[in-house]
Amino acid sequence: MKVGLEKLKNYKGIAVKALLDSRATGLFTNTKFTKEKEFKLERLKNPLLVQNIDGMINVEEAITY
The pLDDT tens digits of the residues spanning 4-17 come to 888 877 878 888 88
Strand-pairing partners, residue 57, are 51
Q: Give the closest residue to 2 by CA, choosing from 11, 15, 12.
A: 15
pLDDT recorded at residue 63:
84
pTM of this prediction exceeds 0.85:
no
- The pLDDT tens digits of the residues spanning 28-61 come to 778 888 888 888 888 889 988 888 888 888 887 7
Q: Where would I find the beta strands (DSSP E) of the chain? A: 2-6, 13-17
Q: For residue 5, how far is the Cα from the chain centroid?
A: 12
